[in-house]
Structure 1
Amino acid sequence: MPTHAPLVPPGAAYYPVQSAGDTRSYAFLLVPGFTLLAFSSAVEPLRIANQLSQKPLYRWRVLSEGGRPVASSSGITVAADEALGPLDRETDLMVCAGNIPSAAAGSAVVATVQRHHRFGGTVGGICTGAFALAHAGVLEDRRFTLHWENQPGFLEDFPRLVPTSNRFESAGRTLTCGGGAASTDMMLSLIARDHGADFAAMVSDMCLRTVLAGAAPEQRSSLAALMRSRSPALIAVVKLMNEHLEDTLSLEELSDAAGCSRRHVERLFKATVGETPNGFYRGLRLDRGRNLLSTTDMTLLEVATACGFNSVSHFSKCFKARFGTVPTRFSHRSRSPSRMARA
């Protein structure tokens, strides 16, 4: 593949880098429905690093199958520089995907990842790009992550591969992140590795980020923050509910584990979330079902079972009550790619 000259744009801010070393190369492989926010959040720190240092620290190019433009999840199309093909081993290959995991599992994409990793290159997955890495067989015995929304569906496809809840992971020659702003976190960590924490902090400031990568490693806010609750018992019960969506626990079991009475748990839920514990628990299970229907090819029976329902009819009735539509109309297999895109 041809080599592109690094972009070193002018800028008012300046931060000297004494020993720049060789220019590091990145290739961003876009698949249909990729998340534009995650892609741009990965590229911009590289551009800012070059701009701040006024040196060609990084170069990047965009790849796609056939070299064709690729539509993002927002409908905005991005042109590719090149078609898929062999890369030199010094180039880091990053698969940029979105809320259609199957797009990252195409044979040409998976073969490109396999080939590059086999010949010593680093491969990465942005947002749901980890699906490509999993199909390529490079995630065995490695820490990795992907967007939290798509982790349940990923686990159904790859039950032996368990992603972390962290915003990004760096494990040898594999890099993964949850997408969105986590792409910036991951690239800041790589810039810090290459040119030091002080320089990475300046890049972070240019991104208007006041916290460097690593200070808030998890993708999602804590349960306490989400629920605006300081009750350890309530937080413990909700955590248990999330851990037992398929093998559901009774309210007595939940209360015992939290070290309080059933009546106390009921009062906590009413006062804090305005629901009964069972109603809240059912909502969590139905939300998981909605996720699995929209991101996997699981049958309705499989989804109902994975969400702790004893029958499809009961699951369907509860699903319609919560979401206003029957689950068959929400199925991944009955929805077009444009409707599957993440907002």
Structure 2
Amino acid sequence: MSLRDTPSGDGAVIPAGAFASAIKEPHPTRWFGFLLLRQFTLLAFSSAIDPLRIANQLAQKPLYGWHVVSEDGAPVASSSALPVGVHGTLADVSDTLPLFVCSGNNWTDAASDRTLAIIRKRARFGARHGGICTGAATLARAGLLSGRTFTLHWENQPGFIESFPELEPTKNRFEEDGDLLTCGGGSAATEMMLAQITRDYGEDFAILVADMCLNDPDLSGDRPQRSSIATAVASRNPKLVGVIQQMYLNIEEPLTLSELAASANVSRRQLERHFRKYLGESPAKTYTNIRLERGRSLLVETDRSINEIAAATGFSSALVFSRQYKARYGQTPYGTRKGR
């Protein structure tokens, strides 16, 4: 079957399984396309595919099908360095087939200009598009996200916002805005597909699929991608959590330790004790590391100069930024940029 044909149930994967749940009146097979870009995140891609496969297995019917494509029809190496085979090229895919773009940390140039042109053309024909992990960034490059609600992985959001200051991703795990579906990757890709299954076959069936995935049955997408800062630092100390939140909110113009202590209504000495007790380091060290992490993200995901990145992360000069960066990561900012 040509990928440009309108797919039927023929070719859909229906694995055998020990457990089944009958669907009395299945809809025509719903097909999706998945475009794999170089160094795509394998976890996010497989997390989107498997709920569809499990739905078919439970129903023992071709509820869903998928075509996996690459820009040139060749296998694509994931960010894990594992190559994944595909069914054909992006140019082979029907203009009516919903298409999810799958990418990873190198989203800035993962898609070629020709691919962007094909995506724009498909959009003009009314095709539905989505982004998995950082796939929304390619849709942004194609000009498809203006005025839309969307998301991408939290790690890549700072660099994305620097590149597209007029666009603002949400912090949610996945988003649906009309014909646009996006998610942050990982288990959020599963949740996004479970939401589709819910619309097609009801919540009870979707929860069965979630159970087979050993996934949380919460099918809403409005949960944040990141766990709370309190969980991240293994602490329920509200003053510590509040100070760390202030650090993340004030990266370009860092607050002084006195200002941070005042925000938590504690003395500087108390602040130092909290950080030593729960994090094993000084608040100044934690703050510097937060700013360096932001700088590393901007180095990998944007073309901003070292001077600009140093200023954006609150360092007094590129020299100070570079010295502290090398101390933390074992290489200079130039080395990180060269190796991206």
1:186 matched residue in structure 2: 192
2:88 corresponds to which of 57, 82, 93: 82
2:323 counterpart of 1:320: no
Q: Which amino acid aligns with 1:206?
A: M
Cα pair 2:191 2:221 within 8 Å, conserved: no
Q: Which amino acid aligns with 1:176?
A: T
2:105 counterpart of 1:94: no
2:207 counterpart of 1:201: yes
Separation in 1 of the partners of 2:267 and 2:64?
59
Which segment drifts farther, 3-12 or 122-131? 3-12
What's the CA shift string for 1:97-143, capped at 9, x where partnerless?
11211344421222222222222221001111111111122212222
What's the CA shift string for 1:65-103, capped at 9, x where partnerless?
122221111122122212122754652100011121134
Separation in 2 of the partners of 1:323 and 1:73?
20
1:71 matched residue in structure 2: 77
Q: Which amino acid aligns with 1:301?
A: N
1:268 corresponds to which of 274, 280, 285: 274
Which segment drifts farther, 257-266 or 277-286? 257-266
2:171 corresponds to which of 162, 165, 171: 165
Separation in 2 of the partners of 1:302 and 1:215?
35
Q: Which amino acid aligns with 1:51?
A: Q
Separation in 1 of the partners of 2:257 and 2:24?
62
Query: What is the DSSP-based 3-state SS (H/G/I as helix, E as strand, rest coil) of the residue aligned with 1:95?
Result: strand
Q: How far 1:168 sits from its partner (Å)?
A: 1.0
1:149 matched residue in structure 2: 155
Q: Which amino acid aligns with 1:263?
A: R
Q: How far 1:266 sits from its partner (Å)?
A: 2.1
2:47 counterpart of 1:38: no
Cα pair 1:188 1:212 within 8 Å, conserved: no
Cα pair 1:113 1:132 within 8 Å, conserved: no
Q: Which amino acid aligns with 1:77?
A: P
Separation in 2 of the partners of 1:194 and 1:52?
14
Q: How far 1:11 sits from its partner (Å)?
A: 1.7
Mapping of residues 201-280 of structure 1, within 5 Å: 201-214=207-220, 217-280=223-286
2:40 counterpart of 1:29: no
Q: How far 1:269 sits from its partner (Å)?
A: 1.3
Cα pair 1:269 1:275 within 8 Å, conserved: yes
2:17 matched residue in structure 1: 11
Separation in 1 of the partners of 2:286 and 2:41?
31
Q: 1:283 to 1:236 in 2, by over 3 A?
A: same
Query: What is the DSSP-based 3-state SS (H/G/I as helix, E as strand, rest coil) of the residue aligned with 1:67?
Result: coil
Query: What is the DSSP-based 3-state SS (H/G/I as helix, E as strand, rest coil) of the residue aligned with 1:330?
Result: helix
TM-score, normalization: structure 2?
0.93
Q: How far 1:216 sits from its partner (Å)?
A: 7.8
Query: What is the DSSP-based 3-state SS (H/G/I as helix, E as strand, rest coil) of the residue aligned with 2:223?
Result: coil
Separation in 1 of the partners of 2:113 and 2:243?
43
Cα pair 2:96 2:125 within 8 Å, conserved: no
Percent identity (aligned): 48
2:45 counterpart of 1:55: no
TM-score, normalization: structure 1?
0.92
Gaps of 5+ in 1: none
Separation in 1 of the partners of 2:233 and 2:197?
35
Gaps of 5+ in 2: none
Which segment drifts farther, 259-268 or 294-303? 259-268
Q: Which amino acid aligns with 2:267?
A: S
What's the CA shift string for 1:124-173, capped at 9, x where partnerless?
01111111111122212222111111111111101121111211111111
Separation in 2 of the partners of 1:324 and 1:11?
49
Separation in 2 of the partners of 1:20 and 1:283?
53
What's the CA shift string for 1:30-65, capped at 9, x where partnerless?
111111111111111111111111111111101111
Cα pair 1:104 1:129 within 8 Å, conserved: no
Cα pair 2:38 2:78 within 8 Å, conserved: yes
Separation in 1 of the partners of 2:336 and 2:95?
43
Q: How far 1:260 sits from its partner (Å)?
A: 2.8
